[in-house]
Amino acid sequence: MEHTKLQCLCLLICSLIVLNGKTVLGGNQTSNENLGMVDITILESAVSKGAVCLDGSPPAFYYDKGHGEGANNWIIYFRGGEWCYNVLDCLNRTKTEKGSSKLAPKQRSFYGILGNNKTENPDFYNWNRVMVIYCDGSSFTGDVEIVDPVTNLHFRGARVFHALIEHFLVIGMKDAKNAILSGGSAGGLPALLHCDRFRALLPNSARVKCLADGSYFLHKKNMKEIPFMDIVNEGLITLHHSAKMLPSSCTSKMRPSLCLFPQYFQQEIQTPFFIVNSMFDTFQINKTFPGYYEDLNNNTCSATLVKTLQDFKQEFLSALPKQSNCSSSRGMFIDSCLIHSQILSGVGWNGFTVHNKTIAEAFSNWYFDLSPVQLIDTPDMPLNCYKFPSITSFCT
């Protein structure tokens, strides 16, 4: 088994060099080419469609136009950032970019799968690359017509999704030859939930697939206390009316809140999709087993902690699409890194490996139909993938 070695450190050092080597041109202007900095676009036209952030501001995105052979190819990436599942939480989000486009940075750097460096991202560097800000708190599933006059909260995530995709179609995506709907964490969930909707809007001749990074949230079936994700999902259904955006084939058989877990709706997705995830995902470990993440980092590895993580790993792997049903339509890269989302990091995209394949190599082979890809790592405990010179387990 090959894991991140010298190249991981090199990539990390290179990333730091790039971040520290900013070129300033004419005062406040930065070199977009060198830094991968991309300007924000506020989609004012979406307001008339009721497609707005939590505070009523227009949705927004960062767009780097494709060129050369990539001019008719598109990657749409949805940013993550948990959810708001009660009124107070949603109000707090309106004070940040997670609830208002007014507070989003004017520029952002693109790295990993969105990077514009041909050497580091040879397959996608010249595509039309879009990063959508996450300001609705519902993984782009909310659709409530009424606006509370007291709080002025708008629960319109689903409308935001549709308005943005319609805009991208108008500015060129309607002629796409290749397209990827992607996202990380809470932003990767809509890449699965909206995957077939996205496919239906694009030309039949286009190669269209979806990519979810750190978004395979597991439903823990046997816990004494109510798990965090169950509370979140119940809140989304109640507050954002998210059930309308979920597969009816799932909601007709079980509680709508369960149909926000990929394990319960993945079989309904007709469009090919790819999962990038750690079997020891830090977000899920933090929320499911409070205190255990700190124990891991402090190398306080009790027998209880070891068994808990091993049981979590087995339950997570059992929930994934079955290998016999995968073929080329279900791809996956499941590593053992103690990490959350990975594909926007240059180190994660090009450094972490499973069976001698980086995420970049594995996804590219799968996306371009070069080979089926279902890569699953084998360690029993999470790995410190930034450790040098060799990869070590947190609990040995």
pTM passes above 0.75: yes
The confidence score (pLDDT) of residue 186 equals 98
Domain count of the chain? Answer: 1
CB contact set of 155 (below 8 Å; sequence gap of 6+): 54, 90, 136, 137, 138, 142, 143, 144, 239, 240, 241
With respect to residue 13, please indicate whether it lies within any of the assigned structural domains.
no
With respect to residue 8, please indicate whether it lies within any of the assigned structural domains.
no
Closest CA to 208 of 161, 296, 293, 269: 269
In single-letter form, the type of residue at position 241 comes to H
Q: Which residues carry out catalysis? A: 185, 281, 340
With respect to residue 235, please indicate whether it lies within any of the assigned structural domains.
yes
With respect to residue 237, please indicate whether it lies within any of the assigned structural domains.
yes
> Within a 10 A sphere around the Cβ of 310, how many other Cβ atoms?
14
With respect to residue 27, please indicate whether it lies within any of the assigned structural domains.
no
With respect to residue 173, please indicate whether it lies within any of the assigned structural domains.
yes
- In 81-221, DSSP assigns E strands to 107-109, 128-132, 178-184, 207-213
Answer whether the bond into residue 290 is a cis peptide, omega within 30°: no
Query: Per-10-residue mean pLDDT for the chain, 396 residues long?
Result: 39 34 27 67 98 98 98 98 97 98 98 96 98 98 95 98 98 98 98 97 97 96 77 97 95 96 95 97 90 76 89 95 74 95 92 94 97 93 77 78
With respect to residue 17, please indicate whether it lies within any of the assigned structural domains.
no
Domain span including residue 198: 37-393
Q: Are residues 373 and 367 in contact, defined by beta-carbon separation less than 8 angstroms?
A: no
The confidence score (pLDDT) of residue 298 equals 75
With respect to residue 70, please indicate whether it lies within any of the assigned structural domains.
yes
CATH number, residue 234: 3.40.50
Six token digits for residue 31: 């070199």
In the β-sheet with 73-78, what is the strand arrangement from edge to edge? 107-109, 37-42, 60-64, 128-132, 73-78, 178-184, 207-213, 273-278, 330-335, 374-376
